[in-house]
Amino acid sequence: MNDNTARPLTLGVLALGRATFDVPYAQEMLAQAWQTLRGLGYRLAGEPVLCLEADAVHAATAALREAQPDLLVILQVTFTDAALTTELLRAWSIPTLLWSFPEARTGGRLRLNAFCGVNLACHALSRHGLSVQTLHAAPDSAHAATELRLLAQAAGIVGKLRQAKVLVVGDHPQGFDACNYDRDQLVHRFGTHSERIPVHELIAQAAALPESVTEVPWQRRSRDFSNLSEMPETPTRKTLKVYAALQQQAKTHGYDGIAVRCWPDFFTEYGCAACGALALMNEDQIPCGCEADMFGVISSLLLQWASGQGAFNTDLVDIDPDQDSVVFWHCGQAPIEMADRDAPVRAALHSNRKLPLLSEFALKPGRITLCRISQGQGKLRLMLAGGEMLKAPLAFSGTAGVARLDVHADLYRQRLLAAGMEHHTSLAYGDHRPLLRKVAQLLDLELLELA
């Protein structure tokens, strides 16, 4: 697995100004902004020095590029024209924030005129097809700190996505257009690399593993499921071998997630359900999705990085307008941290194929976020929605939860279908939409908020 967490978030800071404005006052603003940036707790690259000439900007930029920051913060401390900013960002593709400061309306001269400089720069950049994030806030304000922290975290997620590597095992099932993807588009738009192997190759790898690889996950699942011993042992251990094979693939090749053609091959060619293996991988925070759904896995990665928790690539399977509730479900691959511990948590057979191993439990109550990079309507968008998972009995066999969304259930249904959304949606606990909105902006993805 790519070690994207080892390196701390780094902010590159460049302060621009012009000597014809109030330089002492500008330096005061810069000092306050630098203190705010230091207070975020991230690594800072750059110096709290106001660059007033082109040579100073070029020298500072060279040093910043060597530091390889996740986010470039350009402090537009006073007005400047757009030439240097445009030159810099045309040559350097990096998530960027332009931060300008308000000033008192004294009836006298404009001491900074910083916003006008940002306005000029954003216009110039737009003519080159470039966009940046902007912030207009006092250098010591709580609002500025909140926005900076969110944007830094979003830039970190975008950086991880650009380094991510995902495996696709087999082809998506016929008629499941929701699970296809364009490998070149994936690299061009997100920087994410993908590789594909035939499903029979992973099955052969699993089958060749010694029985001993199943001992640790067997003990793990024995602690989780009191009824594990009731499952047919041979196919159960086959599922655990599939888990070991997926682990090996991730470790050997550095995969951050794996999209698996789970049916019918694992049932018909190997004699077990892949679902239980995918659940274990999801718990290990190497998201795995079924039906070879690449964008489902990437959506789960976004949610996992935003939440710090495991994600569940799920289907919306039932809508009850009278009760204003919906059911999110999948055969049995939700991470066990999502289980409602007041209800049964057990091992199960696949409901259609009657083979193990699946997880079976109702999802716990709590705030949830739904996320999906969608290809609906022939364009890439980031779908977000929010709601509340309710405390309710297991609605259908497998892993499932009854939720009340932030819009009425039938309105959500209408919006989902009208937008051409895929049937898979990634789900995680907590409200992570503010951060994911920033991610969408940095990825230049149209935002589609269904609830």
User: Using one digit for the tens of pLDDT, what is the confidence trace for 277-303?
Assistant: 999 999 999 999 888 899 999 999 999
The fraction of the chain above a pLDDT of 90, given in percent, is 93
Report d(CA 217, CA 144) in Å as an integer: 46
In the chain, what are the domains? 10-161 (3.40.50.10940), 163-449 (3.20.14)
pLDDT at 4: 41
pLDDT of 2 over the 60 cut: no
CA 127 to chain centre: 30
Kindly state the average pLDDT of the residues 68-83. 97
**All residues at 6 or more sequence positions from 5 whose CB lies less than 8 Å from its CB, including other chains:** none
Give, in order, the Cα–Cα distances in Å from 267 to each of 176, 199, 356, 431.
Answer: 19, 12, 10, 37
pLDDT for the residue numbered 175? 79
CB–CB of 376/416 below 8 Å? no
* 390: CB partners within 8 A, 6+ apart: 325, 365, 401, 402, 403, 404
- Whether residue 94 has pLDDT greater than 80: yes
Question: What's the confidence (pLDDT) of residue 6?
Answer: 56
The DSSP code for 362 is E
**350 pLDDT more than 60:** yes
Mean pLDDT of 413-439: 97
Can you give the pLDDT at residue 181?
A: 85
The pLDDT value recorded for residue 3 is 46
**Burial of 129 per CB tally in 10 Å (0-12, 13-18, 19+):** exposed
**What is the pLDDT, as a whole number, of residue 414?**
98
Instruction: Summarize the confidence of residues 389-397 as an average pLDDT.
Output: 97
The residue with tokens 């019918």 is 264
pLDDT at 384: 98
Structure tokens at 24: 């002492």
Q: What percent of the chain has pLDDT over 70?
A: 98
Kindly report the pTM of this predicted structure.
0.94
What pLDDT, on a 0 to 100 scale, did the predictor assign at position 180?
A: 86
> Is residue 72 classed as helix, strand or coil in its secondary structure?
strand
Beta-strand (E) ranges in 236-324? 257-260, 288-289, 312-320
pLDDT at 7: 72
Per residue in 40-74, pLDDT tens? 999 999 999 999 999 999 999 999 999 999 999 99
Contact (Cβ atoms closer than 8 angstroms) between residue 171 and residue 292: yes
Reported as half-sphere exposure (CB side, CA atoms, 13 A), residue 269 has a value of 18
Token pair for 394: 């297991």
Q: Please tell me the total number of residues recorded for the chain in this structure.
A: 451
Residue 85 in this model has a pLDDT that exceeds 80: yes
- pLDDT at residue 176 in the model: 79
Which one-letter DSSP state was computed for residue 412? H
Q: Exposed, middle or buried by CB within 10 Å (0-12, 13-18, 19+), for 341?
A: exposed
